[in-house]
């Protein structure tokens, strides 16, 4: 007779971590996209040196306002505001800043008129106001200089049936990008303590290469 088969009473082997079967996971959980860390915004403005014309000044060294700077007439430089949004890397927006300039009328396609541009205190940021001399009862006010001037440029193009782009650099139309005006704003108290503004170096009376804006005191009828 054959011997009876031996019974193996040993317990089954315990599955290890490498042999355990994991419960199925949803497809979106199995392939999670890797989130890239946010890249810090790099400064796009660098400090440079610029030569500008001599600025007419009084005996105390203050600029003689009103002052013609190219096509702009500076009436008031305003006051530097230390609150957020009242400056950027490139521009300072002084509260009370006032300039005038000429541009196409928005109601008469045959003429240019004077526009009075002012920076107001909007509380949480500057407000940019433009008052056309031919529609003084309808000032344009926006949260950005570009927003305010874009509205005027659009209307001026529309009544002339011009297919030009309505895009515009509002700070430049406010004179804030003009080197002499930037220099005068940098001289205001507190300008050197602004956190984000990138300081520029201006040399009055330095060699002026190429075209430059004339800087002369304004006569009353000019503004």
Cβ atoms 43, 89 nearer than 8 A:
yes
At 116, list the tokens. 């009075």
> How do beta strands 49-52 and 201-204 pair?
parallel
Average pLDDT score over the chain: 85
Whether pTM > 0.85 for this model: the answer is no
Section 181-207 average pLDDT: 94
**Res. 205: pLDDT tops 80:** yes
Q: State in Å, rounded, how far the first CA of the chain is from the last one.
A: 129
220, 128, 141, 221: which is closest to 172 by C-alpha? Answer: 128
Grade residue 88 by pLDDT with cuts at 50, 70 and 90. Answer: very high
Beta strands in the chain (DSSP E): 49-52, 67-69, 72-76, 98-104, 112-121, 126-132, 140-142, 201-204, 215-217
Grade residue 35 by pLDDT with cuts at 50, 70 and 90. Answer: low
Sequence ranges of the domains in the chain: 49-217
Give the DSSP letter of residue 185. H
Q: Does domain 49-217 have CATH number 3.30.160.360?
A: yes
Section 37-61 average pLDDT: 81
pLDDT at residue 29, as a whole number:
46
């Amino acid at each position: 007779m054959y011997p009876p088969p031996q019974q193996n009473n040993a317990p089954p082997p315990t599955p290890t971590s490498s042999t355990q079967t994991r419960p199925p996971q949803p497809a979106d959980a199995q392939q999670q996209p890797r989130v890239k860390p946010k890249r810090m915004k790099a400064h796009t403005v660098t400090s440079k040196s610029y030569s500008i014309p001599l600025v007419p000044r009084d005996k105390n060294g203050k600029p003689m306002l009103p002052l013609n700077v190219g096509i702009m007439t500076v009436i008031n430089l305003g006051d530097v505001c230390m609150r957020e949004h009242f400056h950027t890397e490139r521009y300072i927006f002084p509260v009370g800043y006032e300039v005038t300039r000429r541009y196409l009328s928005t109601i008469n396609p045959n003429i240019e008129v004077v526009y009075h541009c002012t920076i107001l205190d909007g509380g949480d940021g500057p407000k940019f106001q433009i008052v056309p001399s031919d529609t003084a009862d309808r000032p344009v006010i926006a949260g950005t200089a570009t927003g305010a001037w874009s509205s005027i440029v659009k209307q001026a193009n529309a009544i002339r049936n011009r297919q030009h782009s309505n895009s515009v650099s509002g700070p430049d139309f406010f004179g804030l990008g003009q080197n002499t005006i930037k220099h005068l704003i940098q001289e205001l108290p507190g300008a050197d303590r602004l956190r984000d503004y990138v300081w520029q170096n201006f040399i009055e009376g330095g060699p002026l290469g190429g075209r430059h804006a004339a800087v002369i005191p304004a006569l009353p009828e000019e503004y």
